[in-house]
């Protein structure tokens, strides 16, 4: 469908004046949204802008305080997620809704099994599953266990499940967050095919380069309000960022001007089985060392060995020339090291505890005496970091699980900053974080380096690695395959070449 035809066609989905309020927070304020058939609408906004809340209203998980939803011109009310699914809406969240111990076929038809006399018609379900995958142009065994699938294959299963439920509106929430470039290309092929068959798709992502490749139109939310929609042809990266953050970010990566000091962290011949093999490097005070490579290269595993989260087979770790005996994360914390884990939800935070408690956990020695926590001192210290890092919370007792990804990352940062760590390991520091929060985290990393800290930054995003690193190490199959010192004159292609060396 051409752009003019899309403009003139009636919306497949229309959300009008959606309002949603939680205790103390107005999450959505009169939001409008339209999606047409054969269209990919990118839904953008900073963390906390209201994207997830709006999609939960569409998915029937939240009931709006006011506003209407129309599908094919008919007003509908969703009391439950089941109501939304019956109306043809399917939402694929970042955390997949699959049962790992069940097969692909069993997950596809869970709760909708085809039966005869109490027995599941496996042959019939298998045939339907194969037909779905054939329609999507993928080859996947319906009897494979979901726990044995790659992230991209699990995503295919989620999309196939949506199609098997006759979805006409498909929402993809950060679908590329854990995918390789090749897997993203395959995902885009599937999306284009679905679009050509009349579906309307909503694509949520913080990766702006993807938006320009896959989206037809863009709608932007800011602070719970709809601030604009436009055809992708009318936008460039600068205009999009300005819409999202309400201000211009003149430079994606803030300039760095740091004089490097003496060696601070030294890692020699670090090894664990085949996952990490004789990794050695040194980071100086004031330096940001980028560590990159393809998925499975051993980057996160290296970080976990340094921090004592996993036991190393061999290797030596020194801080300011002194050999450290790190056998447990508490040893690393005592040595003034901090780790921002790749998965902040399961490893960086306790989601059912308050943000204040999460901040205080590694810092209880500062806030407690005779077994009692000085809440007043803890509140005051955390309050300082909330202000400094611009953490958006209604109060300090807010559960960590209720925060946006960017604000969760800032809480993790706050707890390590409070320990005045000398060494900070940032594992995928901006994954799933909006462009405004990214810029704030980049500036904070520069400030920490300027204060004489050293940073090991692990990232899959090559522009980030090139934009923030003083030096770059590249890993493949557990080993360091190259070191790049002249970062300004290095290309993404050079890094990929090192990342694929055998």
Residues 141-170 pLDDT 10s? 999 999 988 777 888 888 888 888 888 999
Most confident of 9-23, 58-72, 114-128, 335-349: 58-72
240: in domain: yes
The answer for residues whose C-beta is within 8 angstroms of residue 426's C-beta and 6 or more apart is: 340, 445, 455, 456, 457, 458, 459
343: in domain: no
Same domain, 414 and 425: no
The whole model's pTM is what? 0.65
434: in domain: yes
- Of 420, 450, 479, the one marking the end of a domain is 420
Same domain, 438 and 410: no
Same domain, 406 and 498: no
- The per-residue pLDDT for 484 is 95
342: in domain: no
**Mean pLDDT (the chain, rounded):** 88
Residues 422-466 pLDDT 10s? 999 999 888 777 777 788 889 989 999 999 999 999 998 888 999
- pLDDT over threshold 80, residue 246: no
Residues 369-416 pLDDT 10s? 777 888 888 888 899 988 888 888 888 999 988 887 778 888 988 888
Phi and psi angles of residue 77, each rounded to the nearest 5 degrees, phi first: -125, 125
192: in domain: yes
- Of 395, 420, 445, the one marking the end of a domain is 420
Q: Which residue has the tokens 């699938």?
A: 149
251: in domain: no
* Spatial distance between the Cα atoms of 302 and 278, rounded to a whole number of angstroms: 10
Q: How confident is the model at residue 502 (pLDDT cuts 50, 70, 90)?
A: low
- Of 187, 219, 245, the one marking the end of a domain is 245
Same domain, 147 and 202: yes
Same domain, 431 and 365: no
Number of domains in the chain: 3
Residue ranges making up the domain that contains 355: 351-420
Same domain, 427 and 464: yes
The answer for residues whose C-beta is within 8 angstroms of residue 63's C-beta and 6 or more apart is: 57, 78, 79
198: in domain: yes
Same domain, 308 and 411: no
241: in domain: yes
Domain containing residue 75: CATH number? 3.40.50.300
The answer for residues whose C-beta is within 8 angstroms of residue 397's C-beta and 6 or more apart is: 354, 355, 356
Same domain, 284 and 180: no
Same domain, 371 and 488: no
* Spatial distance between the Cα atoms of 425 and 496, rounded to a whole number of angstroms: 22
Same domain, 86 and 187: yes
Same domain, 398 and 500: no
Same domain, 58 and 171: yes
């Amino acid at each position: 469908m051409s752009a003019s035809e899309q403009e003139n066609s009636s919306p497949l989905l229309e959300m009008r004046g959606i309002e949603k309020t939680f205790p103390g927070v107005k999450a959505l304020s009169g939001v409008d949204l339209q999606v047409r058939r054969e269209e990919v609408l990118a839904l953008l906004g900073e963390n906390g802008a209201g994207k997830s809340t709006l999609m939960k209203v569409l998915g029937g998980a939240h009931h709006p305080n006011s506003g209407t939803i129309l599908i094919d011109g008919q007003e509908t009310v969703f009391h439950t997620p089941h109501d939304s699914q019956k109306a043809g809406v399917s939402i694929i969240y970042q955390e997949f809704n699959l049962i790992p111990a069940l097969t692909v076929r069993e997950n596809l038809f869970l709760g909708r099994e085809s039966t005869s006399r109490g027995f599941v018609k496996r042959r019939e379900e298998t045939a339907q599953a194969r037909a779905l995958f054939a329609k999507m142009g993928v080859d996947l065994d319906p009897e494979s266990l979901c726990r044995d699938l790659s992230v991209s294959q699990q995503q295919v299963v989620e999309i196939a499940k949506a199609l098997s439920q006759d979805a006409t509106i498909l929402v993809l929430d950060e679908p590329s967050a854990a995918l390789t470039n090749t897997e993203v290309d395959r995902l885009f092929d599937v999306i284009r095919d679905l679009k050509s068959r009349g579906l309307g798709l909503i694509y949520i992502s913080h990766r702006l380069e993807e938006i320009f490749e896959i989206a037809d139109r863009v709608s932007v939310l800011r602070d719970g309000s709809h601030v604009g929609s436009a055809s992708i042809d009318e936008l460039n990266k600068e205009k999009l960022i300005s819409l999202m953050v309400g201000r211009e970010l003149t430079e994606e990566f803030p300039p760095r001007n740091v004089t490097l000091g003496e060696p601070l962290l030294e890692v020699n011949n670090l090894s664990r089985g085949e996952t990490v093999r004789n990794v050695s490097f040194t980071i100086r005070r004031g330096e940001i060392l980028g560590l990159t490579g393809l998925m499975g290269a051993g980057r996160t595993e290296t970080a976990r060995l340094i921090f004592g989260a996993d036991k190393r087979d061999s290797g030596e770790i020194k801080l300011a020339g002194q050999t450290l005996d790190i056998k447990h994360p508490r040893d690393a914390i005592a040595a003034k090291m901090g780790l921002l884990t790749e998965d902040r939800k399961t490893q960086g935070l306790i989601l059912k505890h308050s943000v204040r408690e999460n901040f205080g956990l590694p810092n209880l020695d500062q806030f407690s005496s005779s077994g009692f926590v000085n809440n007043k001192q803890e509140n005051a210290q955390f309050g300082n970091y909330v202000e400094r890092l611009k953490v958006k919370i209604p109060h300090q007792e807010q559960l960590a699980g209720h925060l946006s990804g960017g604000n969760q990352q800032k809480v993790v940062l706050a707890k390590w900053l409070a320990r005045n760590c000398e060494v900070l390991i940032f594992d995928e520091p901006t994954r799933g974080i909006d462009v405004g929060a990214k810029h704030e985290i980049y500036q904070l990393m520069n400030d920490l380096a300027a204060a004489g800290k050293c940073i090991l930054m692990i990232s899959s995003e090559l522009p980030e690695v090139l934009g923030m690193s003083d030096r770059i190490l590249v890993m493949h199959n557990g080993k360091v395959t190259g070191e790049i010192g002249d970062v300004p004159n290095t290309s993404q292609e050079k890094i990929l070449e090192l990342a694929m060396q055998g």
